[in-house]
Amino acid sequence: MTPLDDSPKEACGLFGIYGHRDAARLTYLGLYSLQHRGEEAAGIVTHDGREMHSFKAQGLVSEVFNEERLHQLPGRAAIGHTRYSTTGGSVLKNVQPLLVNCAKGSVAVAHNGNLVNAYELKQRLESSGSIFQTTVDSEIILHLLARAANGSFEDSLGECLRELQGAFSLIFLTERALIGCRDPNGFKPLCIGKMNHAYVLASETCALDLIGARFLREVEPGEVVVIDAGGPRSLFPFQGTNTALSHCLFEHVYFARPDSVIFQESVQAVRVKLGRELAREHPVAADFVMPIPDSGNFAALGYSLESQIPFAIGIIRNHYVGRTFIQPAQEIRDLKVRVKFNPIREIIKGKRLVVVDDSIIRGTTTRARIKSLREAGAKEIHMRISCPPTKFSCFYGIDFPTRKELVANRLSLDEIRKFVGADTLGYLSLEGLLKCVGKPSSYCTACWSGQYPIPFGEEGDKFALEKHAGEGKC
């Protein structure tokens, strides 16, 4: 699949609920609010007290589910997943939640993140007889769980989790419980909420807000939260390990919705701080500050507040450009940029503009946007980016292009400026970025600094499991 633009893509959104008669419908609403985390596919699994029910398909949440399909998902417990693939191809067999029946009963799992030891684990499992039905690393978790030593499900889960390396926020649905887990580094977000007598797990707090659930707290890094008829309780299978926190800082820069609280910080508040710091680091004389919507909105507001240059909406985003518009040809990709973002000539013509965006990845989309602003009559365009140059690939759940495709890895700052067509270009420094969050040492900055908190090998290749499918013994 060719993405709509060259922005970084997130892995997925997770949602789960236990103890509500409308579990499937609330999960649908939760996934709808998490649609920004993945637009390729969506799925829901429910348990009605006797058996599991599942439906999943490729497409947006609103395309996959309707009233008839939700009616076919009975039960008071459910988990859901909306996907952008970071491991394995965009095909139906890889759509989550994954559901299996094994000696431990029926188990479904939804996963956000990437396992950096996936290839090694899959080789070992296949050599001992495991047969894989998908090419996603999430299936490895289910095989490890099924093979774990006899004992309680919780003991088996702890044994399984300790074998995983990399980023994983997980939600399991079993015949008795809803279970949420985070890796000990805490790469990906996961929170707990309560709605009357029901408990909710979600990737972001905006999903709780939509259904009227009350935010309780985040699932702690390395914590397993088990929610059953007795309420929630916590397990700590990684206790005793000394693991540094590595929250994904791109959540604040780009991925998360601004109305969410991520890693105990308001996303919109952090983005306003990013804009203020950007204005201090890269001031310029201009008539207006304008964002590339939507992820640049609050950073642009911060730049305007700090610089006292008026804020203006100079580009309108078409929010209805979905997957049905996606075509593989490059000339169509260029056209899609125009379909998705349209400049307002009356605001832009003859003006000096500070244009604020969250990131530049390949640079092709930024160049097309600047070209459209020139055509609308902009006198000057000063591009400002609310994070440092993205020079390194991510192996923990962001689908960045390969390092050689990252424009900041190939070109100097001035070469990037010329490539995108801006009069000036300023990136927020890494030091400035870290000033804007409460606990700088708790964040992963690998895509900017190249300092990876967990080593990786061939597992970093999104399609590594597909390339080697069938090589192991079956």
Q: Nearest to residue 279, comparing CAs of 305, 311, 252?
A: 305
Strand order in the sheet with 352-357: 288-291, 352-357, 380-385, 424-427
Exposure string over 364-379, b if 16+ CB within 10 A, otherwise e: bbbbbbbbbbeebebe
Concerning whether 474 is annotated as a catalytic residue, the answer is no
Q: How far are the Cα atoms of 19, 22, 283 from residue 307, in angstroms, in the given order?
A: 50, 49, 7
Q: Which residue has the tokens 């060259």?
A: 6
Q: Per-residue DSSP letters for 118-150?
A: HHHHHHHHHHTT---S-SSTHHHHHHHHHHSPS
Euclidean distance between CA atoms 247 and 149, whole angstroms: 31
**Which one-letter DSSP state was computed for residue 93?**
G
Beta pairing, strands 198-202 & 224-228: unpaired
Which element (helix H / strand E) includes 75?
none
Half-sphere exposure (Cβ direction) of 343: Cα atoms closer than 13 Å: 20
To the nearest 5 percent, what fractions of the chain are helix, strand and coil? 35, 25, 40
Q: Which residue has the tokens 């206790």?
A: 239
Are 169 and 188 spatial neighbours (Cβ–Cβ below 8 Å)?
Answer: yes
The amino acid that residue 65 corresponds to is F
Q: Nearest to residue 19, comparing CAs of 173, 152, 169, 209?
A: 173
Here the tokens at position 434 are 């870290």
Euclidean distance between CA atoms 158 and 163, whole angstroms: 9
In sequence order, which residues have a C-beta less than 8 Å from that of residue 368 and are 6 or more positions away? 334, 337, 338
In sequence order, which residues have a C-beta less than 8 Å from that of residue 219 and are 6 or more positions away? 169, 180, 181, 182, 190, 191, 192, 201, 225
Question: Which residues carry out catalysis?
Answer: 12
